[in-house]
Amino acid sequence: MQHSQAQLAAESHAEISDVVGIKEQTVLQTMLSSQSFWVTVALAVLVIFMSWLQPSFGTVENVTNVTRNFAPIGIMALGMTVVLITGGIDLSVGSVMGLVAIVAGLLLTWHHPWYVAFGAGLLAGLACGAFNGFFVAYVGMPSFVVTLGMLSIARSLAVVISGNQMLYQFGPDAPIVKAIGQAKWPLRAPAGWAPHWMPELSSHFWVMVVLGLAVGFVFIFTAWGRHLFAIGGNEHAARLTGVPVDWIKFQAYVFSAFCASIASLLLLGYSGSAINAMGTGYELRVIAGTVIGGASLMGGYGSAYGAIIGSAFLEVIRNALLMAGIDSNWQGALVGAFIILAVLLGMQSPATSVGVWVRAMFASKRG
Amino acid sequence: MSLLEVRGVGKSFGAIRALHDIDFSVAAGEVIGLMGDNGAGKSTMVKLIAGNFPPSEGEIAVGGKLCHFHKPVEARAEGIEVVYQDLALADNLTAAQNVFLGREVKKGTWPFRILDKKAMIERAAQLFAELKSETRPRDLVKKMSGGQRQAVAIARTRLSNAKLVLMDEPTAAISVRQVAEVLDLIRRLRSRGVAVMLISHRMPDVFAVCDRIIVLRRGSKVADKQTTSTSPEEITGLITGAIRAA
């Protein structure tokens, strides 16, 4: 053990003297070292392979389906990324979806206008986020505990409020609600201008794109985004340098709940009904997508693009398995394996990269 | 008039009395060495001045103005900057991002008020050049050596016009060459009228740069002497208790 530690120390010393002479990383190097880039490559390979293997995979209908299916996960992954960057986790997103859908659905069945229903649903979601944020940021409880509690609370509230009924008689605004959830763009002939090879992308997909661009902008260009990363890297340092750590962490949980609410309302519109079981188990898919896209569960790392590409990757795998005729019960095992693999690949810091780790293992066996 | 005035300050944590009845003052451009064994109260003293928590008794005045700091930001507003022992750097950010953490330069108008990355990188590069450090502003702190990290933490204190810089063990974990550089920097700060309080275990460093040495033992001040009128042997005796007071 001492032997391998000494060797590691020697290696890091060599690195320091090397580094001084080297130029700053080029754009290409940065890209090649990012996990989201390699997930994009893997996704492209998978899509090409599947299109060749299974002609029905590459059809515009399937593209429409896949992009719509992963969009709600992608939207929530954006919120989850914000929380993960601060070094926390939000397990409550799936349950928040259920509560938001039921609150909005209930108001619709009472013949309130759609904007009142959606507004109330959003408020319920934000309240859940504020609850999480308050206990994590200001009371200082572990995010795992607080959001696990909220996972249970929000689902239970959804069941109680709905009287364990499915809500679908949405009153006069039902067509508007459906139109929001089922809208597509661009439309193909005869309704629109798009050529026949172009997929009609869902409103879910476009909301995800807009939200993704907004989150990406915030991460790269604003002080708020910079502070988010600083909190995840060294919360104590961020506090000492005057970053409003508690307030930013609070906002991160509210934003995560906001994303879950938006995803919930889109799904509500798409299905034209509200069930209290909406989003059950989604938190795992969201976390998996986020982590596969390169966010770190230890905090400090993550990107908007990674969140979306990771979610897309999971959904394409799921879709490919179905198309290949593999028993859908294998999906859980595969998702789990990908979470572990993604975290393993994410351990590529100089001291803990897989390469160094393997070398150290062999070195200690020899010694 | 002295820059910093500490009068009868004490600090208790529950039943533990970390400091009691400390008096001293620091003049502008003076370099003070604060010495003492582990647990003598050095870190507590630094944290009181830096505003991490208020004293249990006594008072601290900066530039003749009584101050009751509850947060480091408040002390910083009075021109007191700290280089912490752990340097308080975020590993996942670059050197420039760390230097400007909490006081980023922005441009544009709300809601598109964005970071002025170019200005921050240029200013950070300028600060590193002044420090004669090989640190590059765009490099991640994670990949830096101990000396480079130190340079980043010190560059941060030079961003504002600090009147007093507290340095907690700045030379403990860096190479011999970097120690010389840090000591040079302390001299440069002094020549600009900045007062420096150096907390260190390393006797040679303290005798190399400090004008005056204050020794703490078990929460009390036991010596406050000009460097020219004392010797490393006497200070060692004061730290260990072999000499009761001087």
Closest CB from B88, B91, B142 relative to A241? B88
Total-model pTM: 0.87
Listed in sequence order, the residues at least 6 apart from A21 whose beta carbon sits closer than 8 Å to its beta carbon are none
Q: CA-CA distances (angstroms) from residue B157 to A243, B88, B141, B205?
A: 16, 12, 17, 20
What average pLDDT does the segment A298-305 reach?
94
Write b or e for each residue in A207-234: b if 16 or more Cβ atoms lie within 10 A of its Cβ, otherwise e.
Answer: bbbebbeebbebbebbbbbbbbbbbbbb
Closest CB from A20, A223, A234 relative to B91? A234
What CA–CA distance (Å, rounded) separates A44 from A66?
Answer: 14
Instruction: Inspect the interface and report whether the beta carbons of B84 and A229 lie closer than 8 Å.
Output: no
Q: What are phi and psi of B59, to 5 degrees?
A: -145, 155
User: Is a pLDDT exceeding 60 seen at residue A11?
Assistant: no
User: Token digits for B98?
Assistant: 């760390």
If one compares B198 and A366, the residue with the highest pLDDT of the two is: B198
Closest CB from B89, B114, B139 relative to A234? B89
What CA–CA distance (Å, rounded) separates A99 from A348?
Answer: 39
What mean pLDDT is reported for chain B? 89
Lowest-pLDDT choice from A25-29, A297-301, B47-51: A25-29
What CA–CA distance (Å, rounded) separates A252 from B199?
Answer: 38
User: Is a pLDDT exceeding 90 seen at residue A191?
Assistant: no
Q: Is A92 helix (H, G, I), strand (E, B) or coil?
A: coil
Q: Which residues of A touch B174 (CB under 8 A)?
A: none
Instruction: Inspect the interface and report whether the beta carbons of A233 and B115 lie closer than 8 Å.
Output: no
Element (H, E) at A140: none
Sheet holding B212-217, edge to edge: B80-83, B164-168, B195-199, B31-36, B212-217, B220-226
User: Token digits for B81?
Assistant: 């900057």
What is the per-residue pLDDT for B60?
Answer: 93
Within a 10 A sphere around the Cβ of A54, how many other Cβ atoms? Answer: 16
> Sign of the CA dihedral A181, A182, A188, A193?
negative
What CA–CA distance (Å, rounded) separates A278 from A263?
Answer: 11
User: Is a pLDDT exceeding 70 seen at residue A355?
Assistant: no
Q: Which residues of A touch B72 (CB under 8 A)?
A: 240, 242
User: Is a pLDDT exceeding 50 seen at residue A12?
Assistant: no
